[in-house]
Chain A
Amino acid sequence: MRIAGKGLVDRQAPVSFRFDGHTYQGFAGDTLASALLANDIRVVARSFKYHRPRGVMGAGSEEANALVTIGSGAAQDPNVRATVQEIYEGLEARPQNCWPSLTVDLLSVNDLAAPFLGAGFYYKTFMWPRAFWEKLYEPVIRRSAGLGALSHQHNPDAYEKAFAFCDLLVIGGGPAGLIAALTAARAGADVILADEDSLFGGRLNGDVETVGGMPGAEWAQSIVDELEAMPNVRLMRRTTVTGAYDQGTYGALERVAHHLADRGGQPLECFWRIVARRAILCAGAIERPIAFRNNDRPGIMTASAVRTYLNRYGVAPGRRITLFANNDDAHRTARDLVDAGVHIAAVFDSRRDVPESNAYPIYRGAEVCNTSGRRGLESVTFRTASGEDKVETDCLAVSGGWNPSLHLTCHMNGRPQWSEAIQSFVPVEGMVPGLDTAGACRGTLTTHGALQEGVAAAQVALEALGIAFDKIDIPEAEDAPYRVSPLWAVAGKGRAWLDFQNDVTVKDVKQAAKENFASVEHMKRYTTQGMSPDQGKNSNVAALAVLADATGRGIPETGTTTFRPPFVPVSIAAMGAGAQGAGFAPQRFTTSHAASVERGAPMIEAGLWYRPSYFPAPGETTWRQSCDREVNMVRNAVGVCDVSTLGKIDIQGPDAGAFLDFVYTNMFSTLKVGRTRYGLMLREDGTVMDDGTTARLGETHFVMTTTTAAAGPVMRHLEYVHQCLCPELDVSMISVTEQWAQFAVAGPQSRALLNALVDEDINDDTWPFMGCGDIIIQGVRGRLFRISFSGEHAYEIAVPSRFGNGLFRELTARAEALGGGLYGMEALNVLRIEKGFITHAEIHGRVTAFDIGMERMVSQKKDCIGKTMSERPGLNGPEREQLVGLKPIGPVKQLTAGAHLFEKGAAPTRENAQGYTTSVGFSPTLDGFLGLGFLRNGRARHGEEVMMVDHLRNLTTRCKVCDPVFFDPEGGRVRG
């Protein structure tokens, strides 16, 4: 019910929205919760486990009951707290976890089964039979218990991540936070003030108070106006600081556009990482409920929430309101309501010494012990010394006292301290380095105290920052003492709810204690108290007070569970902003990309790179046709392939040769200028790391090539070796992968092709096999290497990348004129398998130089990385699986990679496995499948028949073991 003349909502700006299929009106400035209450909607949600009807309980981000789903389809947003969601024109909210509807929820049968569903129910019940868990129990439980659901579609919303830096981060914009920010800002510090609300002011917006001679909300606005005008202040509304991390880093979730009908291109949320030299936590406190029988009925709310709905939103959540409290502060709720003309049916206080009033009946030493009402509160039963009585009421405001919101102080393992005075936990100094606390979150529960501490904390921060400051006047404010005496749970039968989020009752906690889950951390896991979106913000202290009572310990000894980030739920989409879809990783394109795509080449991902798989020619319908043609083209004419993605590392310095001797197994210091050598590199543990060719361009200048996949790791390895293992060597290295566009020109016609493009004559004298050097190609200075990965007479020609596109097109045209053309990754793979050349399919991180038959490349004349470790027993010998070639010999002609090898006639079981295949391909040159693989003692078994079994593809092929070099083993073609 709306109260005329109350609240900060804009009565001139009506807003219509939909909830549960009906259209309602609210005002600009309303949350979904306040607007629903204004429309007398009481049942908003169904509870997690028992599907009990629930209403709005609080007015802040800690809300445990009023969770709804916003929107529909792919963008639907589940578990949104109605107390946080601002309404906008066209907002569509739906209740969740109910079926078929909010008012008639068939799954509320769970409630009738409650005696069986208590603490530890799952652990006790679903142990047997084992197979039933996955097939029956889990699906049923998942269907009946739970919160809102995701759409299971790709999320189309935009999210953002951002970084911010400041001298002082003030977390929370209530009285303490506002004055702390003002103190620091006036002194000239770079200040960020973040508050999770849309409106700064904290409790000042929900209470009737005077600060500095003006209404509290107005005072707050005046401070905000001053801060807003200062260039050194950043005000962050709707921003919840979610975590405190090392070195002054804080995570924060900004709800950028959840409140907008038209986002205007803005992201829905932004996840901030704020680095602050100092921080002040002014997060306030959360009012805690009292547990009593049926205390979860819609219409039962915290006392401060009732005040907030009245004073901030102009909404009375009932027409006959009652109050149940154990502290003086809560009586303000009754006073404010009476002042606004709302009927107070009764006030129950568990204490004897209670603030007086003649405006409503006060029951001293009274406890509410039960409630009734079908879909919402209709009456409460209370108990005094003289017995039990009943009062009709549609809204009960409850206050069990206040719990400081100290969560952030605990994020780095700090433990808070119990305060007898406020019957709650308070932070101690230094729990998070550089973070101070002020106001209610520190246990100071008066506005005056909050202002005082806000100024003091700001001054401490400014001193630490070395910033001079002027004295600041603390405005006059309310300073009535907060008097509380503990009351956690009202004794009696029935279910009294502690944790509304998880449907955990007093009985559950006692049951846990009885079954010896007496540690607070065990109790939490056994009962699920303190889990889910509210993370026990509403229930934690009360639950452990009940546990303390049940175990006969004091509360301080019982302790709290650990508060971990995030303080409020943070969507994964916000934390992973920018990484959706293609944003997951950068894309790397070669200079020939456009030309390859123009020719219809399917591009495959090779690390971050995109490389052409094959180049379909007219009439070709399968990749194999293209691949076979491309292989034949290279063997018989000439092929062109972009190999720019291979890592290229420029290595220079007087000690470059010595450095290479140390990182490679073989010798490089003896390599002649103008020559290239194949090199093998080991990891420190002696297994093969990478291979490639290294060219010597000058006395002190080498260029190393790495495989595409290992370009980064090898660069890192070289830096590590230089910086850590041999810093005495005068050598520099830098990646030149991106500088050079490099193309393989391979085949009998390769020399003819190149000679038509370059000025000098390429012949066996000027460019012998493994020769290298500078060359002018079409007026551009490039580099030419006579190396081959195909076994053919071949070159790799490199030009500065800006000419890559031009050269690629030129080479293509000329190759085609010579009866050749482009070849892709598939053909490249077949060509190298025919020659038995290895890739990372073979050197996959578990093989040694011995395994690939290159043990003689580990020079005995010098030391190198991995050498000693590679000589360990078990890494060399007949027990090793060694590189072999495989050819099908039976009726089945197919080979597959990843299959296992078995002795002829052996059962294809794990125990009998003798090795595996790593690379296979159909060789048009040799007209059959060829395979590379590792076979136990394989080099001694050439000629033997083995069985290849692919259990996944259900394929068994008889194979003959042979040398891994299938084609031109003498190497005549490469030199010819």
Chain B
Amino acid sequence: MAELLAKSPCEGLLPKEVDGLTLSEAKRATMTSLSPYRGQEAVLSDVLKTEHGMALPRPNRSAGKEGARAVWFGQRQVMLIGPDPAVSLADHAALTDQSDAWAVVLLEGEGAEDVLARLVPLDLRREHFKKGHTARSQLQHMMVSITRVGDARFQIMAFRSMAKTLVHELEIAMKGVAARRAS
């Protein structure tokens, strides 16, 4: 029997490059939402540390690194991105597969903050929103998760179904920033 073909959320939409700013789709990764059961935060954090190398991040923070990252995702919610979740995590948290639920893109380059300043109402200045900081916010009309994963590199997650709009909005903003620079 033929295998089903997998399609990424931004297939055919990315990458884009505008004046040194790049927008690309993140490599496909397993994404699991962890929601700790009552009173289990500390234990969950320990297990997460043992199994995947990072403690449970505090609100608006992420932990870990490329390939194995835990991103705070809302009230009592953390997104584990990268590894397949250790079975033992399920003793302490509700685990939900979210690998296919989000379009994950990377915005990178000098002026990435200026691009986001056109769409996101948050203070993303480098000294205020540092590497590892994360936030749930809005990007134009979409709800997103934004994490600074590098000096000039942001990970942006939006609903998979909105991938086209996400790319469209970011591309307009990138062009806007580039046009300002050129003037």
Which of B97, B101, B175 is most buried by chain A, counting CB atoms within 10 A of its CB? Answer: B101
B120, CB-defined interface residue at 8 Å: yes
User: Does B94 sit within 8 A of A, measured CB to CB?
Assistant: yes
Q: Is the CB of A161 within 8 A of B118?
A: yes
**Given contacts A160-B176, A275-B123, A734-B33, is CB(A780)–CB(B96) below 8 Å?**
no
Whether A586 pairs with B1 at a CB distance below 8 angstroms is no
Q: For A591, give its contact among B7, B119, B128, B182 (CB under 8 Å).
A: B7
Contact between chains at B100 and A163 (CB < 8 Å):
no
Known A-B contacts A265-B175, A650-B96, A799-B4; the reply to A160 vs B118 at CB < 8 A is: yes
Task: List B contacts of A805 (CB < 8 A).
Answer: 5, 7
**CB proximity of A262 to chain B, nearest CB, Å:** 10
Count of CB-CB pairs between chains A and B under 8 Å:
145
A89 to chain B, nearest CB (A): 16
Q: Select one of A161, A264, A590 contacting B179, CB under 8 A.
A: A264
The segment out of B81-89, B146-154, B162-170 that lies at the interface is B162-170
CB <8 Å contact, B161 and A163: no
Of the candidates A591, A735, A757, the one whose C-beta lies within 8 Å of that of B1 is A757
Residues of A within 8 A of B37 (CB): 653-654, 730, 732
Residues of B within 8 A of A132 (CB): none
Q: Is B3 an interface residue (CB 8 A)?
A: yes
Q: Please name all residues of chain B whose beta carbon is closer than 8 Å to the beta carbon of A870 when the two chains form the complex.
A: none
The answer on a CB contact under 8 Å between A778 and B183 is no
Query: Is there an interface contact between A165 and B1, defined as CB atoms closer than 8 Å?
Result: no
Name the residue of chain A whose CB is nearest to the CB of B139: A586
Knowing A586-B165, A653-B37, A778-B3 are in contact, say whether A738-B100 is a contact too (CB < 8 A). yes
- Residue in A275, A609, A800 whose CB lies within 8 Å of B161: A609
| C-alpha spacing A579/B161, complex, angstroms | 19
Cβ of B72 within 8 Å of any chain A Cβ, yes or no, is no
| Residues in B neighbouring A165, C-beta threshold 8 A | 123, 125, 128
Q: Is the CB of A739 within 8 A of B97?
A: yes
* B residues less than 8 Å from A588 (CB atoms): 159, 161-162
In the complex, are the beta carbons of A587 and B77 less than 8 A apart? Answer: no
Q: Complex formed: what's the CA distance from A160 to B115 in Å?
A: 11
In chain B between 3 and 49, which residues have their CB closer than 8 angstroms to a CB of chain A?
3-9, 28, 33, 35, 37-38
- How many chain A residues touch the partner (CB < 8 A)? 58
Q: Establish whether residues A586 and B162, one from each chain, have CB atoms under 8 Å apart when the complex forms.
A: yes
- Chain B residue numbers with a CB within 8 Å of A777 are 4
Q: Which residues of B contact A468 (CB under 8 A)?
A: none
Interface presence of A162 (CB below 8 A):
yes
B38: nearest chain-A partner, CB-CB:
A730
CA distance A779 to B102 in the complex (A): 22
Mask: chain A, 37-72; 1 = CB below 8 Å from B; 0 = not: 000000000000000000000000000000000000
Chain A residue at smallest Cβ distance from B163? A589
Q: Quick one: CB contact mask for B93-126 with A, threshold 8 Å, 1 for yes? A: 1101111111000000000000001111111010
List A contacts of B136 (CB < 8 A): none
User: Across the interface, which residues of A come within 8 angstroms of B160, CB to CB?
Assistant: 738, 801
User: Roughly how many angstroms separate A737 CA and B162 CA in the complex, as a whole number?
Assistant: 12
Contact call B8/A653, Cβ cutoff below 8 A: no
Contact partner, A779, options B1, B38, B101, B118, Cβ 8 Å? B1
Query: In the bound complex, what is the Cα–Cα distance between A652 and B37 (angstroms)?
Result: 9
B4 & A652 in contact (Cβ 8 Å cutoff): no
Contact partner of A734 (CB less than 8 A), chosen from B96, B118, B162, is B96
> Once the chains are docked, how many angstroms separate the CA of A585 from the CA of B162?
10
- B140 CB–A CB distance under 8 Å: yes
Partner of B121, one of A163, A585, A799: A163
**A640 CB to nearest chain B CB (Å):** 15
Do A589 and B94 touch across chains, with their CB atoms under 8 A apart?
no
A723 to B77, CA, bound (A): 14
A853 interface residue (CB < 8 Å to B): no
Chain A 620-669 residues near chain B, CB threshold 8 A: 650, 652-654
A797 and B100 alpha carbons, distance in the complex (Å)? 16
Query: Shortest distance in angstroms between A310's beta carbon and chain B's nearest beta carbon?
Result: 31
Asked if residues B7 and A802 are in contact (CB atoms below 8 Å), the reply is yes
CB-defined contacts of B179 to chain A, threshold 8 Å: 263-267
Q: Which residues of A contact B118 (CB under 8 A)?
A: 160-163, 578
Q: Is B76 interfacial (CB 8 A cutoff)?
A: yes
Q: Name B40's closest neighbour in chain A (CB-CB).
A: A730
**Shortest Cβ distance from A264 into chain B, in angstroms?**
6
A806 to B183, CA, bound (A): 46
Known A163-B120, A165-B128, A739-B99; 11 more pairs at CB < 8 Å = A163-B122, A165-B123, A267-B176, A273-B121, A579-B141, A583-B140, A589-B163, A652-B94, A730-B38, A735-B101, A738-B101
Top 4 nearest A-B pairs by Cβ distance? A652-B94, A265-B179, A732-B35, A806-B4
